[in-house]
């Protein structure tokens, strides 16, 4: 029996079984309700339930769930405060939603048989574009046309001819690097897990002495799983902190707060 | 219970001070791992090339749309500028990480 290893199969976006016909069309393109859409809905529902059901006002001693919800609130509030200062707290709802969405997508993606929403570049790039658009809007609202000074470093004028395009490109890099970092980490981690899982199956079915060896990749999977849990949190954190740093630049231009 | 109350209050005050001090020391968080730093630099470089090249390609396309045959001049120029922007980004990231490491060392 030949086992074919398909570690990339888990990332396939396909319509749910039983929902084979498109929901509607946008500019002639059929829009399906896919496994990805389903997971995103689940992420939003689970996150909302977690944050609303666990928290009850007027409780003197918080339950475990409430402590977790409050800790995540404080964690993000501290992050914004330290990265952008007092006036960045206005954007707390945005950063918090972003952080919680990415965090829950990463964690729910770790469940066996689930689907990792953040391993799709389409999702992460949309989120990153949202961040950069917000930064641009905030920057222009706060500084008017003076926001463009962000692209003018302190240098003699003849160097500015070269430096301004470089700064503009450097700014345009942000949505790409922001999205690629999250997407690549998730893709790499889940591919690695699937490859090692494939080793277990291949060794196990080989029989004889090889079957006994199958325990080695199995142990490795456990270790990688733990590492991936860390990465899942860390990448959500990185995404949120970078959002804060970009917001800080839009709010305060060149000067440090 | 009542006799230990001043102790507990002092303990609480110390914890509060700790939290307040932590809040003013600027960006914090988990220290970046070696792999994280390498990944960061790599994505910065590649992303800048993509952004620069994409911008140049778009400008060429736009000029071609209006009847100027500039292709591939803008693509080449902006690709090189993208490389420069990538190095700029990596330098920026490096100073950021240096500052973080320095403040971490200071705390110890």
pLDDT tens-place string over residues A22-40: 888 888 888 888 999 999 9
Residue B2: the pLDDT is 53
Nearest-angstrom CA–CA distance, A151 and A162 = 11
Mutation target to probe the A interface, by most A beta carbons within 10 A, among B16, B19, B20, B27 is: B27
As a whole number, mean pLDDT of residues A159-176 equals 91
Query: Is the Cβ pair B27, A184 closer than 8 Å?
Result: no
Query: Is the Cβ pair B23, A81 closer than 8 Å?
Result: yes
pLDDT tens-place string over residues A82-141: 888 888 899 999 999 999 999 999 999 999 888 999 999 999 999 999 999 999 999 999
Nearest-angstrom CA–CA distance, A103 and B40 = 20
Q: CB-hemisphere CA count at 13 Å for A181?
A: 31
CA distance to partner chain A, nearest, from residue B20 (Å): 11
What sign has the CA pseudo-torsion A153, A159, A161, A167? Answer: negative
Assess whether pLDDT exceeds 70 at residue A43. yes
Task: Tell me which chain A residues have a C-beta less than 8 angstroms from the C-beta of B85.
Answer: 166-167, 169-170, 173
Residue A253: the pLDDT is 83
Mutation target to probe the A interface, by most A beta carbons within 10 A, among B33, B43, B97 is: B43
First-to-last alpha carbon distance for chain B, in angstroms, is 36
pLDDT tens-place string over residues A55-89: 887 777 888 888 899 899 999 999 999 888 888 89
- Nearest residue in A to B51, CA atom: A173
Query: Is the Cβ pair A177, B23 closer than 8 Å?
Result: no
CA distances from A165 to A13, A63, A160, B17, B55 (A): 38, 54, 8, 46, 10
| Mean pLDDT over each residue of chain A, to the nearest integer | 89
- Contact partners, residue A73, CB within 8 Å, separation at least 6: A96
pLDDT category at B97 given cuts 50, 70, 90 is confident
């Amino acid at each position: 029996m030949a086992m074919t290893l398909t570690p990339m199969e888990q990332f396939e976006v396909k319509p749910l079984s039983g929902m084979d016909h498109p929901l509607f069309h946008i500019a002639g393109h059929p829009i399906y309700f896919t496994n990805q859409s389903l997971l995103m809905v689940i992420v939003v529902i689970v996150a909302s339930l977690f944050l609303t059901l666990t928290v009850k006002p007027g409780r003197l001693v918080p339950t475990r769930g409430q402590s977790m919800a409050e800790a995540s609130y404080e964690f993000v509030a501290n992050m914004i405060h330290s990265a952008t200062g007092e006036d960045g707290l206005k954007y707390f709802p945005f950063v918090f939603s972003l952080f919680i969405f990415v965090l829950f997508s990463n964690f729910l993606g770790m469940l066996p048989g689930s689907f990792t929403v953040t391993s799709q570049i389409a999702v992460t790039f949309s989120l990153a574009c949202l961040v950069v658009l917000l930064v641009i809007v905030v920057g222009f609202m706060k500084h008017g046309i003076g926001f463009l000074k962000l692209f003018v470093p302190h240098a003699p004028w003849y160097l500015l001819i070269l430096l301004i395009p470089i700064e503009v490109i450097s700014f345009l890099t942000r949505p790409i690097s922001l999205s690629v970092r999250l997407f690549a980490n998730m893709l790499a981690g889940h591919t690695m897990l699937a490859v090692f899982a494939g080793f277990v199956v291949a060794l196990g079915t080989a029989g004889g002495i090889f079957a006994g060896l199958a325990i080695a990749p199995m142990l490795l999977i456990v270790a990688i799983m733990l590492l991936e849990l860390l990465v899942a949190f860390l990448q959500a954190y990185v995404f949120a902190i970078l959002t804060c740093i970009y917001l800080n630049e839009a709010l305060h231009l060149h000067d440090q707060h | 219970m009542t006799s230990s109350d001043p102790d507990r209050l002092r303990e609480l005050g110390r914890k509060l001070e700790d939290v307040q001090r932590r809040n003013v020391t600027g960006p914090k968080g988990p220290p970046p791992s070696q792999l994280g730093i390498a990944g960061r630099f790599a994505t910065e470089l590649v992303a800048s090339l993509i952004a620069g090249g994409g911008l140049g390609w778009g400008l060429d396309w736009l000029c071609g749309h209006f009847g100027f045959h500039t292709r591939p001049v803008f693509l080449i120029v902006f690709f090189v500028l993208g490389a420069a922007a990538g190095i700029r980004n990596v330098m920026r990231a490096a100073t950021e990480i240096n500052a973080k490491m320095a403040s971490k060392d200071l705390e110890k």
